[in-house]
Amino acid sequence: MAKTKKINLALQGGGSHGAFTWGVLDRILEDGRLEFAAISGTSAGAMNAVVCADGLMKGGNDGAREALEHFWSEMSKTAKTSPIQRAPFDVFMGNWSLENSPGYHFFDALTRIMSPYQTNPFNMNPLHRLIEEVVDFERVRACDATKLFISATNVETGRVKVFDPHKLTADMVMASACLPMVFQAVEVDGVPYWDGGYMGNPALFPFHTQTDCSDIVVIQINPVERAGAPRTAQDIMNRVNEISFNSSLLKELRSIDFVSRLIREGKLSKEEYRDTRIHIIENQDALLPLGASSKMSAEWAFLTHLRDLGRKTAQSWLSANFDHIGTKATVDISKLFQGIGPEHQG
């Protein structure tokens, strides 16, 4: 077996599309050649991160795989009674979209005219109860198998907050996943927080000072590019959210690329600055057609479809890029800012 290599993992949020990340993690853990120096996660990425860390502490890679499957399975069971389900026609045709779901459209319209303080005054959140039931936070706080960076957006200041991993709680994870039109702001130590995706999806900066690993692997589930201008109000809002949730990540990638170029040009010292190597695992060809509405679906058949897609994508990525970990980046960041998608090198 090849010698193991260390990476920093960056896990994006994206609703139930986080099951794609589950699949990627499952295949990487099964492969066993990569160790996680640190994991930074936001929203669904934060949930995957804490569940993975809990499993690693409990039973190593196999424990992490079991924990992730258990979490997503319980997620699906919790959503079975939800009115947001695929329309019978879409089930028959094999479409995963919720565009024809009356429950989805009713909920979407309701969030545009009423706040969660009006629609859910008692602030009930089954997801909060689920994460408390499946994750042993005492074990997560004591985790020495990897470092955890869970981020949320401070509602009052608009700044990103990366929570102390040694004090991590279910509330902090829920703060990271708090969409403001769906959930009431989550208060942590008296401070209200919203979804971390607005200011860090996920945050990369903790890797630079908190680990000595120079390889960052981003598991990307939110599309950077989407052809054509959206026409419907719903499509416009979905695209605005995609752009907003990618902006902070792209800014950090731009900064990393800028520093790396200065190092290569000899304008910055390699002794004082780190030449970070970026890698991206994504499959937009498969995820884009699913549409934004499918992020609300927690149907088990859909989640396992995404898991299998993630496993297949991870296997292709490992085959093409494992040898480059620790030696060179496998994505040309500069092309992300030229309207050109990731180009895998080597």
Residue-wise pLDDT for 267-305, tens only, equals: 888 878 888 999 999 999 999 889 889 999 999 999 999
- What's the mean pLDDT in 38-52? 97
Task: Look over the chain and give the mean of its residue pLDDT values, rounded to a whole number.
Answer: 91
DSSP 184: P
Lowest mean pLDDT among 66-75, 164-173, 257-266: 257-266
Residue 342's pLDDT is: 43
- CA 207/CA 204 separation, integer angstroms: 6
What is the average per-residue pLDDT within 20-47? 98
Among 248, 257, 255, 252, smallest CA distance to 277 is for 257
Q: Has residue 340 got a pLDDT over 50?
A: no
Query: What is the per-residue pLDDT for 189?
Result: 96
- Which pLDDT belongs to residue 346? 36
In degrees rounded to 5, what are phi and psi of residue 59?
-155, 30
Of 35-39, 157-161, 253-257, the least confident: 253-257
How far apart are the C-alpha atoms of 222 and 284, rounded to whole Å? 8
Q: What is the CA radius of gyration of the chain?
A: 19
CB atoms inside a 10 Å sphere around CB 269:
9
Q: What DSSP assignment string belongs to 204-236? A: -HHHHHH----EEEEE--S-S--SS---SHHHH
Query: Residue 202 corresponds to which amino acid?
Result: P
